[in-house]
Structure 1
Amino acid sequence: MSDQPLARHPLTHLRRQRGWSLTDLAQVVQRRAGVNMAANRQKIWRWEHGLAVPDLPAQLAIATEVGIDPNTVAALPWPTWLLTVDGMERIDQGWTTGTAKDTLTLVGCMTDISDDDRRAYLLLTGQQAADLATAWAAVPAVPTIPTSKLRHATGHGIVDAELAGWVEGRVHQLWHLDDLIGGDYCLTLAQADLQLIRRLLEQARFGGLIEQRLLTAAGELLRLTGWCAFDADRHAAAERYWHAGLRTSAAGGDTLTGAYILSLMAMQHSYAGDGRTAINLLQTARERIGPGSSRTVHAMLDAWQVRAHAAAGEAAQALKALARADAHWERRDPDEDPAWAYWMRRPSHTIEVGLGFVGLGRTDTAVRLLEEGQAGRSLDYTRDTALGLTAIASAQAEQGDLNGALENAGRAADLMATVDSSRVTDLLQSFSRRLPHGPVQTAFQARLETLAQAPDQSVE
């Protein structure tokens, strides 16, 4: 993978795409707008770190240089208009098998999107994400094809059916590998499998029944690949994978995977602090699958809504969502669950619910629920164990229990020696920044820096 740092602001990405240094961009602004850029590098740096907003002449200078209509700059706030330079694949196309394949090709034909797209910010606005979810929910259901009919339809093409089964099994293997070693490691593996499915779907020798099965597998794999990108802080890439996953799962008739993708998009917006968009996405997913679907999936959607309401500062609604989630869990029938729901546990014991209570300032409740969840988590979930310990440490730090916080954060850091998850590392860094200034913070920060410099773990 590339050693280049993630781009955490659209202007940083734009500079890299054009091969500009900070000074180069300052010269562009001065040449185009005549703006005084005496402190050029410092100004650009402040723009890219969200510490200042360029005035309108400077914005128009950048837009003119890269070919963006001034009306776009006038219509959209900074830095939203920069997203039009290198944005998402089109989300306003019709929902057909053809457009599903086209979108899969766009994200799957890249050699390694995890290196090509290193943007650690969202491409879709809240309204665009809601529009995409609404369009997905309106797609007519595609009938599910029984495996027995599939084998009958392929006749002597039994190798095709076996190959489809291999692809499905491979997706399941990657689910569990991600639990163990984290999204950064699994991202390249998932991308390689996307290449395979893309090539298979491009070959006309498969009949319609095999095609539907492969589209369903593609939707599941795109969901996982987006999750790996999200776990690695590559948020723009995650959105692009999930957009393609919504289309391929819809073409394959897999509504539950589409709902799962929307729930992950909601989680992404919750992490970004946009609880309202997260709530809207989860509501759309819930309405689309209907009350007769798996109660475990409904429990998951309501559990994630706890975190969304917390991000929106809505404590009462968060408590109601948790009550609904636990009620669904009590009445679940495991036989109704999709295969990917193997990881789901009692909603009140999930890490996202615990983080929601941390965000609401209810640290006593957060610690209790997170510790109960940790007690029931097996060693097969290394990344989640580290994430849970970090969440507990964050809550304990808020309570003033510095010793307990450092103990749990230290255990999480030890686990991260064998896991590659930028999401967990970011939370550990955030925890470190909240420690009291002095020797304790310096020592813990040094520990994290040692972890970051450790050689990559090989995956066999």
Structure 2
Amino acid sequence: MSEAHAILGFGRIASRREKVARWESGTVVPDVQTQYAIAHLHKVAHQEVHRLGWPHWLHLGATDPELRATPHVPDDAGVALRHAWRDGRASPGAYVSVTGQRLSTFVRSLCAQCPATPRWPQQGQFSWERTGYYVALVGSLEGLAPEVSPAALLPAARADLGNLTMLLSCSALDREAKAELAVLAARVADLCGRLSMAVGRWVDAERYFLGAARAAATQGRASLVAGSLSNLAVCHMQVGEPRDGLLLVETSSSLTGNRPSSVSALRSCREAIGLARLGDEVGSARALERAADMISVQSEDEDVPTGMVVNEEWLSISSGIVWTDLGKPRKALVDFSPILGPEIPAKPFRMPSWVVVQVVRAHLEAGEPEEAARHAGRALSFFGGFSLLLAAQLRSEFTPFRSVPAVAALLAELRAAVLS
């Protein structure tokens, strides 16, 4: 760091471990020049140092530098998806990569490539006979998502995304075939994002959603872009960037308007959660009211993309998340009632596992640690484990209550229940 400090023209600084220890403990804030040197080492722009301030910009040093540097929309869908599909998952300390001004620039470039009139993908719309296999494959994967554990389905979806990505680089394909396969690949990338998000792998999900949006934009598919941006909004809200999340929800809405009504209702639920995380109770309530209004007018024959369905149950759970974030656990538990009962839902995996953190927090804040442990244990057995991040979040929530026997038993289970 001393060398970076000198390279930037600020001279050398003393290299003492105790100085770094004071920064880490929060007792001392490094001066701006030192922060610039740290940012230089981690390839973080100085503008971000000013925008976020210490220590909030530090998470950018744990992001994906390649993705952070190139959030533009390429002309080729294969290029857009290659990064999403690359081997390996994000490290546990990683953070979402495209935030702030870069995110604003990215969504503007997506909107510029999308037509004003949205078009949702429909079953059987692809006429080129050689894509029939992939049409059926993608439809089957999307249909399995509510019924199969996301941890089990994700490897299959990733493999199919890899196949489609490689096909897109095949020179033997004509332009029509590539366009059709690009849309299918964008749908699979979005599915990979939703499955990653369902088990709490936010950074992996970001990579898939960005790839899906970029690939869909190469074909001018505003509806698919809108869906992926709405899903990406959840990632940003979950990692503590609600303003970015709200920007993504707003952009998604601008691309497709209020139709289909189910999709609009889902976006309103996400808007409510983002506003709650900013402490805006009135705005959250209004967003939930809009979601309820849209659900009340949706029709059964509405053409809704898989994964964008919202109903009264999800509206209630979204309301529970909002009340939890606003510090009103008793109200939250009333709204969480659809998932607190003993019955297994008809579409069991439509509910993402990260919701359990919200349920646990509501029970703990209401003074019910035994109930919190019971519901966390039930979710643990149901999903077969949690991601490293989700397990860490639950341990953090339960640790102050570790003297309670039920909580102690759950903490022991969590140590052995991290999904690979």
Contact 2:78-2:215 at 8 Å conserved across structures: yes
Q: 1:221 to 1:54 in 2, by over 3 A?
A: farther
Q: Is residue 446 from structure 1 mapped to residue 416 from structure 2 by the alignment?
A: no
SS of residue matched to 2:235: helix
Q: CA deviation at 1:104?
A: 1.6
CA distance in 2, matches of 1:64, 1:147: 49
Contact 1:326-1:348 at 8 Å conserved across structures: no
Q: 1:51 to 1:282 in 2, by over 3 A?
A: farther
CA distance in 2, matches of 1:353, 1:87: 37
Q: Is residue 344 from structure 1 mapped to residue 319 from structure 2 by the alignment?
A: no
SS of residue matched to 1:270: helix
TM-score (norm 1): 0.75
The answer for the alignment partner of 2:97 in structure 1 is: 123
Contact 1:390-1:408 at 8 Å conserved across structures: no
Q: 1:82 to 1:331 in 2, by over 3 A?
A: same
Q: Residues 64-75 of structure 1 correspond to what in structure 2 (within 5 A)?
A: none
Q: CA deviation at 1:258?
A: 1.7
- Measured on the aligned residues, the alpha-carbon RMSD in Å equals 3.9
Q: CA deviation at 1:136?
A: 1.8
Q: Is residue 288 from structure 1 mapped to residue 255 from structure 2 by the alignment?
A: yes
Q: Is residue 37 from structure 1 mapped to residue 11 from structure 2 by the alignment?
A: no
Q: Is residue 309 from structure 1 mapped to residue 283 from structure 2 by the alignment?
A: no
Q: Is residue 224 from structure 1 mapped to residue 201 from structure 2 by the alignment?
A: no
Q: Is residue 139 from structure 1 mapped to residue 113 from structure 2 by the alignment?
A: yes
Q: CA deviation at 1:72?
A: 8.4
Q: CA deviation at 1:67?
A: 7.8
CA distance in 2, matches of 1:311, 1:400: 22
Q: CA deviation at 1:368?
A: 1.3
Residues 128-180 of structure 1, C-alpha deviations (whole Å, 9 max, x = no match): 223322322232328969888853xx4xxx3x13233244235425634xx53
Q: CA deviation at 1:211?
A: 2.2
| Aligned equivalent of 2:182, options 189, 193, 215 | 215
Contact 2:234-2:245 at 8 Å conserved across structures: yes
Q: 1:148 to 1:227 in 2, by over 3 A?
A: closer
Q: Is residue 242 from structure 1 mapped to residue 219 from structure 2 by the alignment?
A: no
Tell me the amino acid that sits aligned with residue 283 of structure 1.
Answer: E
Q: CA deviation at 1:316?
A: 0.6
| Aligned equivalent of 2:135, options 149, 165, 184 | 165
Contact 2:114-2:221 at 8 Å conserved across structures: no
Q: CA deviation at 1:227?
A: 2.9
Tell me the amino acid that sits aligned with residue 134 of structure 2.
Answer: A
Q: Residues 170-181 of structure 1 correspond to what in structure 2 (within 5 A)?
A: 170-172=140-142, 175-176=145-146, 180-181=148-149
The answer for the alignment partner of 1:19 in structure 2 is: none
Q: Residues 19-168 of structure 1 correspond to what in structure 2 (within 5 A)?
A: 33-39=12-18, 42=21, 46=24, 54-56=30-32, 58-59=34-35, 62=38, 77=53, 78-79=57-58, 82=61, 86-88=65-67, 90-91=69-70, 93=72, 95=73, 98-108=75-85, 110=86, 112-114=87-89, 119-141=93-115, 150-151=126-127, 154=128, 158=129, 160-168=130-138
Q: Is residue 369 from structure 1 mapped to residue 335 from structure 2 by the alignment?
A: yes
The answer for the alignment partner of 1:9 in structure 2 is: none
Tell me the amino acid that sits aligned with residue 282 of structure 1.
Answer: V
Q: 1:26 to 1:398 in 2, by over 3 A?
A: farther
Tell me the amino acid that sits aligned with residue 114 of structure 1.
Answer: R
CA distance in 1, matches of 2:66, 2:360: 37
What is the total number of aligned residue pairs between the two structures? 411
Q: Which ranges of structure 1 fall in alignment gaps of 5 or more residues?
A: 1-24
Q: 1:43 to 1:232 in 2, by over 3 A?
A: farther
Contact 1:216-1:253 at 8 Å conserved across structures: no
CA distance in 1, matches of 2:158, 2:322: 32
Q: CA deviation at 1:297?
A: 0.2
Tell me the amino acid that sits aligned with residue 311 of structure 2.
Answer: R
Q: CA deviation at 1:100?
A: 3.2
SS of residue matched to 1:337: coil
Tell me the amino acid that sits aligned with residue 334 of structure 1.
Answer: E
Contact 1:73-1:81 at 8 Å conserved across structures: no
Q: CA deviation at 1:387?
A: 4.8
SS of residue matched to 2:145: helix
CA distance in 2, matches of 1:147, 1:85: 35
Q: Which ranges of structure 2 fall in alignment gaps of 5 or more residues?
A: none
Residues 279-318 of structure 1, C-alpha deviations (whole Å, 9 max, x = no match): 2221121121023x21000010001111111101000111
The answer for the alignment partner of 1:6 in structure 2 is: none
Contact 1:322-1:348 at 8 Å conserved across structures: no
Q: 1:60 to 1:313 in 2, by over 3 A?
A: closer
Residues 7-50 of structure 1, C-alpha deviations (whole Å, 9 max, x = no match): xxxxxxxxxxxxxxxxxx89999999442424488568x38xx8
Q: 1:339 to 1:29 in 2, by over 3 A?
A: same
**What's the % identity of the aligned pairs?**
21
Contact 1:294-1:336 at 8 Å conserved across structures: yes
Contact 1:276-1:308 at 8 Å conserved across structures: yes
Tell me the amino acid that sits aligned with residue 130 of structure 1.
Answer: S
